[in-house]
A and B are shown apart, each in its own frame.
Chain A
Amino acid sequence: DIQMTQSPSTLSASVGDRVTITCRASQRISSWLAWYQQKPGKAPKLLIYKASSLESGVPSRFSGSGSGTEFTLTISSLQPDDFATYYCQQYNSYSPFTFGPGTKVDIK
């Protein structure tokens, strides 16, 4: 199975900061990478798919990039609503899909 790692595991930032989260896959997955946001007590929400496509309704301050084995999620200017945990997910159809361990973004 493909293993996913994320860094950092926790990130402390302030409103207005530019934030970058990295996700790495143990094998090449082309661009089959999604990012989800999860707030406490809530279900995950799809933000980005196919590595860089913004889901409808998601603010443009979120962006994704990368291909192969290394990917990033960037929040250009952190807003109060963005404090949450972020998960990457590979969805290569030839392998059971897996989530990364998550990155918690909290208030500095």
Chain B
Amino acid sequence: QVQLVQSGAEVKKPGASVRVSCKASGYTFTGYYMHWVRQAPGQGLEWMGWINPNSGGTNYAQDFQGRVTMTRDTSISTAYMELSSLRSDDTAVYYCARDRYSGSSLLDYWGQGTLVTVSS
């Protein structure tokens, strides 16, 4: 069965960076784009971008251009999302999610979420 297992909660200071991992199992990792979506406390869902695990190609949402970097390690079927220059309003749960049709942005499986808290 398809599973996406994310790394644990993080607490960071403003200005720092955070890297969240997402380990995939139960399917061919390189066959499906991986998206990252975040959700601030009590708020809605915000798309951050995607990575093509096969080529490493990425597409970032405009709001995160210059601050987000998505990478992958195909040898361990893991995707990573790094967000830099953290601010208090980056406090959120960060989700990875698989794109069913690679580029369609239809998200059929989601990780459990990683809470990132930015606080001085």
Name A's B-contacting residues (CB within 8 A): 34, 36, 42-46, 49, 55, 87, 89, 91, 93, 96-102
Q: Can you list 11 A-B pairs, Cβ within 8 angstroms, ordered by A?
A: A43-B110, A46-B106, A46-B108, A89-B45, A91-B104, A91-B106, A93-B105, A99-B45, A99-B46, A99-B47, A101-B44
Could you mark each residue 82-97 of chain B with 1 if its beta carbon is under 8 Å from any beta carbon of chain A, else 0?
Answer: 0000000000000101
Contact indicator B106/A96 (Cβ below 8 Å): no
CA distance A23 to B62 in the complex (A): 24
Q: Label chain A's interface by main secondary structure.
A: loop
Measured between beta carbons, the chain B residues less than 8 angstroms from A36 are 45, 107
Q: Label chain B's interface by main secondary structure.
A: loop
Measured between beta carbons, the chain A residues less than 8 angstroms from B47 are 96-99
Could you mark each residue 32-50 of chain B with 1 if its beta carbon is under 8 Å from any beta carbon of chain A, else 0?
Answer: 0000000000001111000
How many positions in chain B have a CB within 8 Å of any CB in the partner chain? 19
Contact indicator A96/B62 (Cβ below 8 Å): yes
- List the 7 closest pairs (A to B, CB-CB), nearest first: A43-B110, A91-B105, A97-B105, A99-B45, A101-B44, A102-B44, A46-B108
